[in-house]
A and B are shown apart, each in its own frame.
Chain A
């Protein structure tokens, strides 16, 4: 932590404590994203700050005894710092990007609220701000997202028209829990009532949502869907592909555990939880695949390719 970071926080802390009298130490630390010990440090710095001249009556007053006894903060004698400083460009841009990411998952009236909030923030940040980054997530239609969010709010089970990674259509009945983004794609996290297990559904592959009128039921908390979520699936198996250089795009579009440059191409380690997904990936890569390890992992795709070739007359 640098002095600049601390001063930037102090300039917001002083107005915050004046507009939230008797604020609790832990809550305040959480608002500012720091540990309570750091916030105590901040208060000790403020204790020596005040109007120029440094006479006793000029200093900001904090009742440190009350802080120690009850964890409540009362700060006075700083009316001249009753409003926070403007956003720094980094703060403004980080907040705008975050809101735009929320926007990509939202639908309907919520989306309108985000648009108007963004417009207000942009006005408040002034002309100093660089053009804010655009954010685009592949998250299907706003209508589907709104239907899902409504069903989540109503705790109601839904039937989906869905096309999975293995490209087979299905109509799962699910208890929808939340909409999330991961690596630029929007997903529905839901309890599959057919399979009695947690599942994620890519929003752009949901073709329709039908309300069932059935209660969603309580299935606990869904598993964390963080970076490397695939690795937590116990049924995931590691497969290594050796590929021609022209297939290097896959490292940017698929979750890859490791990439190695090898003679005449690359070698990638993938975690495969769904054999249908690997089958369609190998079919898509075609001649770009040099070898597959373990070799039996290629069998499904080979069979499927042979079946497809039978539909084409010889020659």
Chain B
């Protein structure tokens, strides 16, 4: 970082912000400290770079002409209403929540961004106060190696290329979500010409840009519906299980007591719903002797097969 450069860009920002009309380059060169001593070519280069840096920071540097008859006489300005954070007021319970937000991110990069946003709110007179929410300490991770590259591409709408479990994919990122400790990306898969969901943990390495920021539009998709596809499926089958009293509350939560034949002594019969046979076999086995399958027969056989394998592993 060069102090000189920061000074110059800051002075340029103030100059453009104070301008009532578009200011031409020659004028900017005269009044902004740091441009006087440069050669013509060096000034052109430096000015273009500084202007791009301001835009990349989100400063709305506008280009236009004051004279409709000579639209080639290009100048620059920053409109105050586009630049300034609009006035917002928060209630005490809202500021309490905002105060907590500074400590949520485990990823240092994102934590800095959140702190920077809160500093802007404080500069605008808001006073986030986490003291009232001492009981809550939420946190959110971003340990996936590809996280930063995909987060940035999603923000900037830049198409990317990455290996997904070994297969190359080209994607226009639309939106991200965080569920059960994992990040997901929804985007248009350019090769399959259809939207696809990607688990960021399965992206092999940092995503590589294959196009300019803002080079595609995010269509008006139903994000809620897309994220719902990540939820467990609705149950469509039912098993009758014998449960030991007070055991297996996870299975009881999606079941009801029933009358059944062949219930072993010391057990009670419950009808329990499930969606995928493969998952429910594991869930049942995990309870050992606390759960016995009464029906259907297929499920009963599958559980016996798995338990036999585990029982055979006695050392």
Contact = CB atoms under 8 A, between A and B. Distances in A.
The answer to whether A and B come from one shared complex is yes
Interface string B293-315: 00000001000111111111111
B94 A13 contact: no
Contact of A134 (B98, B125, B227, B249): B227
Interface string B54-65: 101111000000
A134 B223 CA distance: 9
A136 B179 contact: yes
Contact of A179 (B135, B152, B314): B135
Contact of B7 (A48, A116, A282, A308): A48
Given A130-B154, A302-B312, A286 B114 contact: no
B59 A296 contact: no
B223 A16 contact: no
B157 interface: yes
B6 A97 contact: no
Contact of B117 (A83, A95, A252): A95
A287 B102 contact: no
B40 interface: no
Contacts, number: 376
A93 B285 contact: no
A280 B310 CA distance: 11
- Which among B138, B157, B309 has the highest number of chain A CB atoms within 10 Å? B138
A182 to B, nearest CB: 7
Nearest to B282: A284
B41 interface: no
Nearest to B112: A33
Contacts of B311: 302, 305-306, 309
Contacts of B197: none
B113 A90 contact: yes
Interface stretch (B68-76, B79-87, B188-196, B204-212): B79-87
Interface string B28-51: 000111000000000000000000
A291 B151 CA distance: 39
B217 to A, nearest CB: 12
Contacts of A70: none
B154 to A, nearest CB: 6
Interface in A97-154: 97-99, 101-106, 109-110, 112-114, 116-117, 120-121, 123-124, 128, 130-131, 133-138, 148-149, 152-153
A86 interface: yes
Interface string B129-141: 0000111111111
Contacts of A149: 135-136
A116 B91 contact: yes
A103 B192 CA distance: 36
A301 B94 contact: no
Contacts of A296: 315
Given A286-B309, A289-B310, A309-B307, A7 B9 contact: yes
A246 B272 CA distance: 25
Interface of B: 1-3, 5-7, 9-11, 13-15, 17-18, 31-33, 53-54, 56-59, 82-86, 88, 90-91, 93-98, 100-102, 104-106, 110-125, 133-141, 143, 151-152, 154-157, 174-183, 201, 218, 223, 227, 242, 246-250, 264, 281-283, 285-292, 300, 304-315
22 contacts: A13-B123, A19-B124, A48-B33, A52-B18, A80-B17, A84-B84, A89-B156, A91-B116, A113-B93, A117-B90, A124-B86, A167-B250, A167-B290, A179-B135, A179-B136, A182-B139, A283-B306, A286-B285, A295-B315, A299-B315, A304-B288, A311-B264
Interface of A: 1-13, 15-16, 19-20, 31-33, 41, 44-46, 48-54, 80-81, 83-95, 97-99, 101-106, 109-110, 112-114, 116-117, 120-121, 123-124, 128, 130-131, 133-138, 148-149, 152-153, 163, 167-169, 177-186, 207, 227, 252, 279-287, 289, 292, 295-296, 298-299, 301-312
